[in-house]
Amino acid sequence: MSAARLKMRAEDADDLSVLSACLQDAVVLVREMRYLPGEKQFVMVFNRFRWEEMESELGEDDQPVYERVHCGICFDNVTAVRQRGIDQRNVGQIVSLLQIRAGGGHVDLIFSGGATVRLEVDKLLCHLQDLDEPWPTQWRPAHPLDDEV
């Protein structure tokens, strides 16, 4: 298995769409999301499926082995954070990221179950970096449309 670590920077909507594709189906605990108003940053640590490593190996039981990795993301220039569908008191709640979308002066983090975090930003600047070594998993994220294609 490859251990190349992903490191990306997004400064516009096109960059962010690439970053979003890499983070699709990443999961995060509510306690791993933080707004740091003094630094004007919003940070998260995801458990990211490594879509870029889809050329999976077969495990001992001839089942595909994919990879996940801990991944940190930081949005800079954040002036406010609003959220819907996430209970901050439930720090053990796990949410799955579907998409990151940039709009005029904001970035939306769209999660499964209708949850959304909106970051109001002065200027788009985001950094993503894998934090450690990947680990194997036999589970590949799937969506109902994947089975129909």
Please give the residue range of the domain that contains residue 80.
7-143
Positive or negative, the CA dihedral 95, 36, 106, 126 is negative
Least confident of 29-33, 106-110, 132-136: 132-136
Name the helix (H) or strand (E) containing 135. Answer: strand 135-137
Percent of the chain with pLDDT over 90: 60
Average pLDDT over residues 110-136: 93
* Confidence class for position 66, pLDDT limits 50, 70, 90: confident
**More confident call, 61 vs 92:** 92
How confident is the model at residue 149, as a pLDDT?
42
Q: What is the mean pLDDT of the chain?
A: 87
Residue 149 lies in a domain: no
Name the helix (H) or strand (E) containing 111. Answer: strand 106-111
Number of domains forming the structure of the chain: 1
